[in-house]
Amino acid sequence: MKVREVIHNVYFIEKDGVRILATKSKYGSHYGERKIGEYREWIPSRSKLSAMFMKGYKVDIKPNWKVLYLGAASGTTVSHVADIVDRGVVYAVEYSAKPFAKFLELARERRNIVPLLQDASKPWKYSGIVEKVDFVYQDIAQKNQIEIFEDNARFFLKEEGEGLIMVKARSIDSTADPEDVFKNVIRRLKESFKVVAHDTLEPYHKDHIFVHVKKQ
């Protein structure tokens, strides 16, 4: 078994001729992913952040970062982000009660996850709990997802902070050509942020891109 570090606590593991992504974790499996010794497989078809790393792009998330995660669902990706920021904290927002129940099981066993049953389009409602963060991560399939990201960044992102937004073309406009939707998204993000990189998440997630931004 060959192991190569990508960023803190994220590794490519080569086993039996197959390359997988994994996070180093002292915790058990959360969504049916394999445990390989001290590593937890990070499945790219289940997590857009894993897909981004699998495609060779990396965001150097630091172990002590404070993260605001928008669209936690049942915590698949949050569980890996929490492995990475093992000396930091993840404030994780989800507004749907059903996935939130499973997410709470995860948050109960991890000291660095703060679960918030809130609407991400109303950041003022959780501004009394969430502090200034180093990183805003968003995976929300909403028409106004860019506005939600901008608002949360305005409230919570530190001056030198970074963000990563997973954009689903069809939820912004179900009839337009995804390429046109992505062009508009990037043009809009450039008005408020420095766009560091963007790329598709194919073949893992159809009609999705990631956009990595920094505060100007």
Ligand X SMILES: C[S@@+](CC[C@H](N)C(=O)[O-])C[C@H]1O[C@@H](n2cnc3c(N)ncnc32)[C@H](O)[C@@H]1O
Chain residues that interact with ligand X, rule: CB under 6 A: 47, 71, 73, 76-77, 93-96, 99, 119-121, 139-142
CB of 139 to ligand X, least distance (A): 4
Nearer to ligand X by Cβ, of 33 and 139: the residue is 139
Task: Determine the Cα–Cα distance for residues 214 and 196; give it in Å rounded to an integer.
Answer: 7
Write the CB contacts of 97 (distance below 8 Å, at least 6 apart in sequence). Answer: 117
Nearer to ligand X by Cβ, of 73 and 133: the residue is 73
CB of 74 to ligand X, least distance (A): 7
Of 24, 48, 45, 47, residue with least CA distance to 35: 24
CB of 141 to ligand X, least distance (A): 5
Chain position carrying tokens 């049953």: 117
Nearer to ligand X by Cβ, of 98 and 194: the residue is 98
Q: What are 11's two structure tokens?
A: 């590794």
Left (φ > 0), alpha (ψ -120 to 50) or beta: where does 121 sit? alpha
CB of 152 to ligand X, least distance (A): 10
Q: What are 137's two structure tokens?
A: 């991560």
Nearer to ligand X by Cβ, of 43 and 157: the residue is 43
